[in-house]
Amino acid sequence: MKSFDVPVHYRSPLITAIKQQRKADDRMKKDFSPTQLALGDVNIFLARHFGFCYGVENAIEIAFRAVAENKDKRVYLLSEMIHNPGVNADLLDMGVQFIMDTKGNMLMDWNELTSDDIVIIPAFGTTIELENKLKEKGIEPSRYETTCPFVEKVWNRAEQIGKKGYTIVVHGKPRHEETRATFSHSKENTPTVVVKDMSEAEHLAKFVTGELPAEQFYTDFKHQHSDGFDVTKDLQRIGVVNQTTMLASETQGIADFLKQVMIEHYSLAAEQIAERFADTRDTLCYATNDNQSAVMGMLAQKADLAIVIGGYNSSNTSHLVELCEEKMPTFFVKNESCLLDDKLISHFNLHTHEETTTENYLPAKRPLNIMVTSGASCPDALVEGVVNRIAELTDKEMELQHTVSEWVG
């Protein structure tokens, strides 16, 4: 796989050495067991896969190059390039300005843009409508486009299915940048509707079967369907694609459920299923799949708590938190500074969507086992920072130095 020119301060000698060794030992990526850092009677288990993915490194390289190549011009990001506050802050410090926030709210007036300005398209991609707005300003959006190739793969899959007469059901968070982009590209070719979870998929099924009146659809799925959507016709043939950072198990569950609904409603024999339901397969990116599988492998070990590192608005990171929460106390942190001391931790609560603090998060018992992973937009340096902080708070700094020397040399 291609290597990217990413700023060195995002790297970690320890994490790089561990990842390189694990890759050499397991080139087929079949071993999802974690890497154990034994610090005396404190054990840190690092997930097999975590951190920057191909799409994120590609986006960072392009964005930093855009700044370097245009020192005499104004450089803008359409919105957050990736969901990591540190990386976005670095770009802001370099003079890059955001045109809108992650929900699509304008942070400036479109009229401020000129044809001399540089606009970077984020890794999530963007809508066709916004691309056209930039072109109207004389700005070519593809010049510094960082759209992840795996997101584009979903767009291509939706287009292929749509041209065969299927309506697209997008499993994603309706207000997420990537879902908005996928929805925009999909609806150019076929009727499209977004469902955020299994509950909404089950609700959508009631319009397939006629259990709910057709007119109710337009209220219940307001802002989640394409213009001109005809619920009486457009749910007769469907296919499912997803936002690439969703939970693999949930997407598969939604696809299996809707497929079964079509089979039962239309009394389909096995050879007739394709007439009503497109076999799209899972459209999650490789990194999302690998990171989620690695968390499942990590959770096979017994541990006292898990720490997940990443941006609080990162979808793929939030799903890693959800997986860990099913097994043990889990703390979603943005960096090592959140570990305030050995008694108090600041972390993000996915359920209340607020940053909070928890006391006595670090058990005094020994041995102490801690799981650590991060999202696809999290620099490895932040993971090393958390490992260093754990060692500091548990008085295992000497043991960590010895471990680092073994890995790094």
Give the residue numbers annotated as catalytic, written as ranges. Answer: 178
Q: How many CA atoms lie within 13 A of 280 on its CB side?
A: 36
Check if the beta carbon of residue 244 is closer than 8 Å to that of residue 285.
yes
CA–CA separation, 224 and 365 (whole Å)? 49
DSSP per-residue string spanning 311-367:
-TT-HHHHHHHHHHHTTS-EEEESSGGGB-SSSEEEEEETTTTEEEEEES-S---SS
User: Is residue 39 within a helix (H) or strand (E), and if so which, with residue range?
Assistant: strand 35-39
Contact 47, 294 (CB under 8 A): yes
* Alpha-carbon span 258 to 169, nearest angstrom: 10
Q: How far apart are CA 382 and CA 388, in angstroms?
A: 10
How far is 41 from 354, CA to CA, in rounded Å?
A: 33
Sheet holding 277-278: strands in order across?
192-195, 167-171, 238-242, 277-278
How many Cβ atoms are within 10 Å of 114's Cβ, its own excluded?
11
Give all strands (DSSP E) within 158-265, no chain letters: 167-171, 192-195, 238-242
> Among candidates 300, 92, 316, which has minimal Cα distance to 308?
316
Residues 6+ positions from 73 with CB-CB distance below 8 Å:
116, 117, 118
Using CA atoms, how far apart are residues 393 and 44, in angstroms rounded to an integer?
A: 13
* CA R_g for the chain: 23
| Residues near 292 by beta carbon (within 8 Å), at least 6 away in sequence | 247, 248, 319, 320, 323
Q: Residue 374: which of 325, 306, 286, 297 has the closest Cα?
A: 306
Distance from chain centroid for Cα 168: 21
